[in-house]
Amino acid sequence: MAPPPIRLATRDDVRAIAALSRTEIEHGLPWRWTPPRVQRAVADARTNVCVAEQGGSLLGFGIMVYADDTAHLSLLAVNPDARRQGVGTALLQWLEQVAQVAGIARVQLEARHDNASALAFYRRHGYAQTDTVPGMYLGVADGVRLEKVLVQEPAAARRP
């Protein structure tokens, strides 16, 4: 089964995105990606919020913030009923393609240290662990930083 198409999020998607973040990413933590914060991300020119939906139901979303040569994947979540169907891969690839078009060299992200399925997902997609941060998530959970190089820098451009 082919994953659903990916599109930019709109104001109409904000509540569903915030709710999915709350249940699938922020469980056990204070809710930080509330509807107003998601709406600010949707409206921010340096951020892409994309969604996959089917039949009017949100299957998953991704939020990526772009800087000059790096991008930060702030959130990526897939509804539990839609997992293992290529939705997460489609979202991640869409965001990475946008980053490459924008000239971004690397994508960085964080995940909970105890989220083995998320860490395996990112590793399958070429992300490598760069750091472990004790208490990263408000002192409640440890975090892992990961990074994927999208564009190799020419040898002459690398810093010694």
Q: Left if phi > 0, otherwise alpha if psi is -120 to 50, otherwise beta: which for 47?
A: beta
- DSSP structural state of residue 105: -
Q: Catalytic: which of 110, 127, 137, 153? A: 110
State the Rg of the chain over Cα.
16
Active-site choice (66, 122, 127, 137):
122
Q: Is the dihedral of CA 124, 99, 149, 128 positive or negative?
A: negative
Pick from 16, 1, 3: nearest CA to 56:
16
Tell me if residue 66 is catalytic. no
Number of other CB atoms surrounding residue 84 within 10 Å: 9
d(CA 49, CA 102): 15
Q: Give the length of the chain.
A: 160
| Catalytic annotation present for 122 | yes
Which of the residues are catalytic? 110, 122
